[in-house]
Amino acid sequence: MAGSIRIRATLTGDVAEVKALMRHPMETGQRKDSAGNKIPAHFITEVKATSGDKTVLQAHWGAAVSQNPFLSFRIKGAKAGDTVKVQWLDNKGQTGAGEATVK
Amino acid sequence: MSAKSGFVPLLRTLSVCSLLFAVAAEAQDDPFAEYREMMGDDNPAIFVIEEGAELWTKPQGPKQASLEQCDLGLGAGVVKGAYAQLPRYFDDTRQVMDLEGRLIHCMVSLQGRDRSDILRKPYSGTGDMGTELEALASYVADQSMGMPIATPQDHPAEKATYAMGKELFFYRAGPYDFSCATCHRQDEKRIRLQNLPNLTAHANAGEAYSSWPAYRISQGLVRTMGWRMQNCAKQQRLPQLLPGSEAVISLITYMSVNGSGTEMAAPGLKR
C-alpha cells in the first residue's frame, strides 16, 4: 500500500479545496523499536501538486510531519473536471502519487 | 454621565472576554473533535481497511486458504453487519467469541496456521505499520458502519458472558487495587485531557464501543478493541490480557450490551 495517496477535490465558486491523505511511516530516525534498535529515518522530503501542466504547490517536508500526513490546500481559478495530481518523494528515493478530478 | 459612558465599554470588554473564554474552553475540551472536523470524512484508517480487505481474500497458511469462508456469526463469508452483532455464541466452538477471537479461530481452522504464532505479535509496537489482526479487524468493523450494536443475549452462554464481564469490570485487583470501574463508572470524569466514559451507562458505553477499532493519531496506527482492553489492564498493572481470551470477550460483551442500539462508527479517529 505504500505510495498511495487518497485525494478529493471539491469546488466552491472558483476555488477547489484539495484534501490529500498520504500513506507514509514518516520515521524521524530518532526512535527505537521495542528491541532497542534505532529505526532508520524514512520521511517525505518533497511534495508537489499539479493541476494540468501547472504546478500549484511545492513543499519541502522534513521529519517533523506526522505519520500518514494529511495535506489540505486551495486552488484559485479551478474548474470542474480539472485534474489535480499530488506526488511525493522521500529520503529513500521512493515516490507516491495520486490524482483526483475536481468536482 | 461620565460614569455611565465608562461602564458601557467595560461591559463590552467583559462580554468579549467571556466569549473568547468560552471558545477557548470548548477547544480545550475536545481538540480532537476539531481535528476530526478538519479531516472530514478522511481517516487514515482507510488504508488499513484496504489492507484488511486484501488480507481477507489472500490465500495464506499451510492450507493456502483465504478467510472468505470464515463465519463471523451471520453465516460463512458474511462480513456485512457481522461486527455489530458480536460477541456471540458459536455452535462450532461452543463458546462466546469476539471479533478478534473469531478471526484467530478462522486463521487456525481454515488456514491451518499456528495460534501461538499469531499471538506472538497481535498488535503493533513502536515503529510498526500495523499487524494482520489490526487490518482484518478494521475491514470487518468498517462493514458494520452505521448499523446499530446488536450483541445477542439469547443463548445462556451469552448471558453468562455478560455476567462475567460485569463481575470483572468491578473486580479490584493488582498492586493498585484497581478495577475498570475505578475509572469508568462515574459520569463526567476525566484523566488529564481525556474524558473517561462511564461504561455502566448506555450512552457512554455505546459511544465508546461504536468507535473501536480506531485510528490513533498519536500512534499512527489502528488500535482494536482487544488492544484497548489489553492496554487498560496494563495500566491497572494486571496480568496481560490475550486477544480472544475469556476475560477479554466478557469485558467486551459487558460494554457492547450496555451500548446496544448505538450506531457503529468504526474505525473511528482518536487522539
pTM of the model: 0.81
Contacting residues of A for B127, CB less than 8 Å apart = 25, 27, 31-33, 39
Cβ separation B44–A23 shorter than 8 A = yes
- Residue of A39, A70, A71, A74 to mutate for B, most B C-beta atoms under 10 A: A70
Residue A60 identity: H
Q: How many C-beta atoms surround the C-beta of residue B7 within 10 A?
A: 10
CA of A53, closest CA in chain B: separation in Å? 27
Kindly list the residues from chain A whose CB atom is less than 8 angstroms away from the CB atom of residue B39.
Answer: 70
Can you identify the CATH homologous superfamily of domain B45-270? Answer: Cytochrome c-like domain (1.10.760.10)
pLDDT of residue B28: 52
The answer to whether the Cα torsion of B73, B79, B80, B86 is positive or negative is: positive
**At B88, which helix (H) or strand (E)?**
strand B88-90
Where do the domains of chain A lie, and which CATH numbers do they carry?
A: 5-101 (2.60.40.10)
User: Residue ranges of chain B with pLDDT lower than 50?
Assistant: 1-27
Measured in angstroms, the CA of A44 and the nearest CA of chain B are apart by 15
Domains of chain B, by residue range, sit at 45-270
Q: Quick check: A1 and B51 CB within 8 A?
A: yes
Contacts of B162 by beta carbon, 8 Å cutoff, 6+ apart? B153, B250, B253, B254, B257
* Residue B135, helix vs strand vs coil: helix
B32 touches chain A (CB under 8 A): no
Give the Cα separation of A61 and A84 in Å (integer). 20
Yes or no, beta carbons of B220 and A4 under 8 Å apart: no
**Contacts for B3 with CB less than 8 Å, ≥ 6 apart:** none
Write the residue in B46, B125, B127 that is nearest to A6 by C-beta: B46
Residues of B marked as catalytic: 232
* Predicted local distance difference test score (pLDDT) of residue B38: 75
> How close B42 comes to chain A (CA, Å)?
7
Angle between helices B156-170 and B246-258 (to 10 degrees): 90
CA pair distance B164, B94, nearest whole angstrom: 17
What's the half-sphere exposure (Cβ side, CA atoms, 13 Å) at B193?
11
- Contact assignment for B38 to A72 by CB distance below 8 Å: yes
Higher pLDDT, A1 or A38: A38
Phi, psi dihedral angles at B107 (to 5 degrees): -65, -40
DSSP letter at B50?
Answer: H
Residue A5 pLDDT more than 90?
no
More confident site: A4 or B163: B163
Of B118, B130, B167, B153, nearest in space to B52 by CA: B130
- Choose among B40, B127, B220: nearest Cβ to A66: B220
B128 — phi, psi (to 5°)? Answer: -85, 160
- Chain B residue nearest residue A65, CA to CA: B220
Q: How far is B218 from B109, CA to CA, in rounded Å? A: 35
Q: Which cell numbers in the block locate residue A8? A: 478529493
Q: Is B41 exposed, middle or buried (0-12, 13-18, 19+ CB in 10 A)?
A: exposed
Tens-place pLDDT, residues A45-64 = 999 999 988 999 999 999 99
To the nearest whole Å, the CA of B150 is away from the closest chain A CA by 32
- How far apart, in whole angstroms, are the C-alpha atoms of residue B3 and residue B24? 32
- For residue A45 the three cell numbers come to 522530503
**B12: its cell numbers:** 463590552
Closest-CA residue of B relative to A38 is B127
pLDDT given at position B16: 43
Is B38 in CB contact (< 8 Å) with chain A?
yes
- The verdict on a CB contact (< 8 Å) between A4 and B47 is yes
Contact at CB, B220 and A70, closer than 8 angstroms: no
Helix, strand, or coil (residue A83):
strand
Q: Which of A1, A31, A72 sits opposite B127 (nearest CB)?
A: A31
